[in-house]
Structure 1
Amino acid sequence: MGVIQATVLLFGSFFVMLLGGVPISAGIGIASIITALASGMDFSIFSLTAAQRCFSGVDSFSLLALPFFSLGGNIMNKGGIAKRLVRFARLFVGKVPGYLAATNVLANMFFGAVSGSSVAAASAMGSIMGPLEKDEGYDPNYSAAVNICSAPTGILIPPSGPLILYSITAGGVSVAALFMGGYIPGIMLGVFVAGIAIIMAKKMGYKSSTIVETESPWKVAFDAIPSLLAVIIVMGGILAGFFTATEAGVVLCLYCGALGIVYKELHAREFYELLADTMVSSSTILFLIASSSIMSYVMSYTGIPAAISAGLMSISNNRYVILFIMNLFLLIMGMFLDLTPAVLIFTPIFLPIARSVGMSDVHFGVMLIMNMGIGSVTPPVGSCLFVGCGIAKVGIEGVTKYIVKMFAAMVLALLLVTFMPIFTLLIPYLCGLVPSFWW
């Protein structure tokens, strides 16, 4: 079987199963098995190699960081941290039109900077901001759209679980460099969404804040400091070499758990439920990684990554054209694939292409995660879209008309990050983590 036929069979069978409702992890594994056998691989050798690849794919100390950061995000969601961050964010944007929408964006950026999860941010902020916006007469579809589109800042502003996953998949790219590289793109994404949200709010006649805060701004800021301190502890510890990214996840869980107890928001029963939820979500990710390891093996055996690379390079040798095509493809794929499988599938395909046009591993990783984050707000498989709509109790059709304009702003931010490496690499360069902040 030729490379083209193998590519069509692998991805074609996968998407057919995806449309048929087969779980993504199972679809990846089944499509890989079908392609391997159709390519003439000996079944006994393939089955033995596939088992070894599954085990080696999840046998990584660095992978422990994912459940710990996931648990930390869940603890913050339930531990009263989100509410304090919302009050703190309102101090900065209370005077702008549609201040609650702007507060939602800023609070998602703060919460994402602590939790590292876009879905957790969409859930936490949607449940807090939704009722407040409804009381002030905001269109629930508009409120949900703002919450959904600003949630992906959480996977760019560190700490970030997806950036850790990319680091492992790419073969050990510096987590510290990726974390530092995510700051400016994450902030840009939030600012662009907030700008569109404020313009839309002004046109719809939404006013600035009329709420009279019973406590002084200093007291509100003081209450938020312990929550924001989690970022300093995690990032400072990693950069100073006190602990690894995995150990940072443990520190985050312990710190946020202690805060939840101090705030009297968490009890033994809640901790049990949070641990159970984290175990379920982590097992799903591990199954995805295991099945994706089989797909990576099959793609290498059939020569699919090399063929795709050669195909792209035959279109043009101009890096900007190649990166534009790559972004277009990833944006489309992000509409159909969740973030975790997308990172596992596309990193081994596109990272060699990015390297061939002079793009650093850190720059490509941030661009990839940003693409997938934008994809999470679009139908039909957008995780943030479904969580945000579910929390707000609104339909996808009503939200989409507002998302379209914000989506355009998000794509603009993506293009700036893609074609201007300084936005990604400047902070890592200043920290001595990368050799240059340009091509």
Structure 2
Amino acid sequence: MPAPTTPSAKAIYDKDRSFVFHSWSAQSSVDPLVITGADGVHVIDGDGNRLLDFSSQLVYTNIGHQHPKVVAAVAEQAHQLCTIAPAHANEARARAAELIIDIAPEGFRKVFFTNGGADAVEHAIRMARLTTGRYKTLSAFRGYHGATQQAINLTGDPRRWPSDYGSAGSVHFFAPFLYRSQFNAETDEQECERALAHLRSLIEFEGPAGFAAIILESIPGTAGIMPPPAGYLAGVRALCDEFGIVMILDEVMAGFGRTGKWLALEHFDAVPDLITFAKGVNSGYVPLGGVMISERIADEFATRAYPGGLTYSGHPLACAAAVATIETMHDEHVVDNAALIGETVLGPGLAELAERHPVIGDVRGLGVFWAIELVADRDTKEPLAPYGGSSPAMAAIASRAQRNGLLMFQNMNRFHLTPPCIVSAEETKQALAILDDALCAL
């Protein structure tokens, strides 16, 4: 990407490169985009260019950037009570928990707050292990659950490899993904049936009595936005019931309106025992995550102390942002907008691009949570970038789109189109036109 040209932006860039250690990067090759402002679905770079943020950063600004009601709520809370320890009760934390339980499935009654998604996953696994007296876990290869030691071992994508010493009790399996089926399936029904049979066999061969939990993203996010086929999550629920395994659904990325429902699990027919969340709960304005806890699991700790906690659990500033985000999403029908945009503009628009651009091998998604998978050959499905890597072609598309005012979430051979849930039809059409142009550049 071009270096910033204004003196102030260049000073920010130089200071960043001198002192900031960036995640997931070789430090000598980091080339960050300077962002100096944002509003709604746009970010503003150091040269004053407005870019449509169809990445929602790391897929979390569900209510958009700088929403005045959320900004005001954080400021008001800061004036009233900036911080208080988790042992004390305060209005922001209590109200945030109440609003979160209101959108949870029936039978959920408690919220344990964390600082983000990875530690939410850590604590959900801990709760499952303490409840069952077991240790091992099951998780999908095409999945991501965070970068702490336990969460990265649960993760299935290549970011796990440098930190996986085979000591976390994590067992991985293939979840359904018809476009690149591991089961030689030709239909969604076959993919579902064969994926469940694969999971059952793995549990039986590994030893059912050893498993505390299975964790799945309701709809995998970073791994490719692959909505599971009808009946799959219900089948997983049945296996958990049969073998006494705690079922955890990870809604960190897919939750809070992203798929056109409050929680992505509402698209399917299964209720888990624990739900992890973060990101969209307050659009990332202040770090917050947590675990929604079913009555079954909560009862385990009614008279038994839960051995875990965090200094900033339920931080008042973060919880105030969550309260304002959730209440505003209700008042402004933000979840309905996400569903409408996905059904009428974004989904059909991406399908139309696929008809004209052979490089698009697959289009999939719900709400404002979509991915296009790019291939060198549609017949062989050869990816345009290798598994775990990128390619000059992918970089060229991303660079051209950014020059024309569009930021997308890029991973391997995919671009994810994940705008804020407040995005308008006109803004979506503008983004699709920029993407069309970028694909033509190939």
Superposition TM-score, scaled by structure 1 size: 0.29
Superposition TM-score, scaled by structure 2 size: 0.29
Which one has a larger percent helix, Structure 1 or Structure 2?
A: 1
Q: Which has the higher contact order (CA 8 A, sep 6+)?
A: 1
Which one has a larger percent strand, Structure 1 or Structure 2?
A: 2
